[in-house]
Amino acid sequence: MSLGRLPPVGTRVRATGGGSLPEFPGFSSFYLQSGTAALAQAMLCAKSLVGDTKRASVVLPAYGCPDLVAAALFAGLKPLLIDIQPQDPAYDLDALSKVLASGEVCAVVAVNFLGIKENMLELRRLTQAAGTLLIEDSAQWFPEDYLATASLADFVLTSFGRGKPLNLLGGGLLLVPESRLSQLPELERFKPGSERAGTPSLSYKVKAGVFNQLLSPLVFGLASRLPFLGVGSTRFHALDSVEQVSPDKLSCMPSNLGAYLSQSRWREQTLCSGLQGLPGLIDLAQTLRYRKGRLLRYPVLTETQNQFAALPGASTMYQRPLVDIEGVPEALTQAGASEQAACPGAREFASHFCSLPLHEGVTAEILEGMLAQAKQIPVGTAVA
C-alpha cells in the first residue's frame, strides 16, 4: 500500500521579507492574527456602527466553516444560519429577506466560496433596504479584484492561514471603508507598522521550511493517518482573542502576494476542459462563472457524495450543514440561537459537493490521471 497522499491544499510559504503592503481603493487595511479574528472584528465594527441593541443577530450561511460561528460568538452576536441553494453556495434570497424583515439583524456575512462570490448586488440591495451592514468573508479567496476596484460590502476580510490562497502560516486582513474610520477608533491598534519592510525571524523561517516539507505527498500521507493530528477534520473551535498579526507574517506578505498573483491558472483551465460533458456532474465553476474569480479548489456537484472521493486530493469539504458539525450545536445553544430554521438546501448541497485540488503541487500528470479516473466512474456510484 502506498503511503503517499496528495495534500488537498498547499501553497508553499516564501519566508522572504521586504516590499510594500498592498493598497485597496476606498479601504484602510488592518492586519490581525487570523481570518477568524478579522471576521470577529468586522462584526464588532458593524455592531458599533449600527448602535441598536435590538439588532443583536448576524446572518451566516447554513453551509460553511464553523469559524463563522466562533467569530459571531466572540462579537457577542446571535448567529442566524440561513439556508443556501441546493446547487449554489449562495443564500436562498427569499429566506434571507424574511429574516432581514425582522429588524433584528446587525450584519449579513457574504462568504466567497473557494473563489465564487456571493450574489453581492442582491445582498447589497437587501441589506441597504433593511439598514443592515454587509461583510464579505473572502477567507477562501484573496480579494485581488479590490486592488483596482471597490467592493460592494461594508467590510471585507481574508485569511492567510494554512491552505488559504495566500499562505503566511496564519494571519488575517480586514478592509474597512476610509469613510468609517473616524467612527471606529478601536481599529488603531491593528494598523501595520514599519515591520513590514523587515526580515522574518529564524524561527519563522524554520516553521515555513517544515510546513513546505509537509506538502510532500509522502509526508502528508503519513501525517493524515495519525488520528491525534486531526488532519482534514472539521470541528468548532472558540475564538479567545483578537490581536495584531505577528511581524514575521506581515513582513513576508509582499513576497508571497507577488508569487500568488503571478501564478498561472492553467490547472483550472485543464479541469474545466476535461470535466466538460461528464454525465451526472454539475461543474459549479462553469454554472457560476459570472461570479467566479481565481479558484482555491475546483468545485463540482456529483450524483452521490463520495463519487469522486478516491480521486487524488479530492475533498468533500465540510460534508454536512453547520448545525451538524461537531461542537456547533452546543455553541449555538450557549448563544441562545439553538432554534434554527430547516436548511434543506444546505443539506442537499453538502451531500453532493466535492472539490478538486488546484495548488502548486498538482502536476499536469496528476490532473491527467484524475480526469481519466473520473471518466471511468459510473454515474451514481459511491466510491469508498
- The SS3 of residue 259 is helix
The rounded Cα 166 to chain-centroid distance in angstroms is 11
Give the distance, in angstroms, between the CA of residue 105 and the centroid of all CA atoms in the same chain.
Answer: 22
The mean of the pLDDT values for the chain is 88
In this predicted structure, the answer to whether residue 2 has a pLDDT above a threshold of 50 is: no
For residue 191 the three cell numbers come to 494598523
The whole-number pLDDT of residue 199 equals 87
Domain range 266-376, its CATH number among 3.90.1580.10, 3.90.1150.10, 3.40.50.1970, 3.30.413.10: 3.90.1150.10
Of 273, 232, 307, 230, nearest in space to 9 by CA:
232
Rg (CA), the chain: 20
Residue 41 pLDDT > 90, yes or no?
A: yes
pTM of the model: 0.92
381 has a pLDDT exceeding 50:
yes
Residue 337 in this model has a pLDDT that exceeds 90: no
Buried residues in 250-278 as b, exposed as e (16+ CB within 10 A) = bbbbbbbbebbeeeeeebbebbbebbeeb
Question: pLDDT grade, residue 329 (50/70/90)?
Answer: confident
Helices (H) and strands (E) in the chain, counts: 12, 12
| For the chain, domain boundaries | 266-376
What is the residue-wise DSSP string for 289-336?
A: GGGB-S-SEEEEEESSTTTTTTSTT-B-TT-S-GGGSBTHHHHHHHTT
Between 150 and 46, residue with greater pLDDT? 46
If one counts every other C-beta atom within 10 angstroms of the C-beta of residue 204, the result is 21
pLDDT for 171 beyond 90: yes
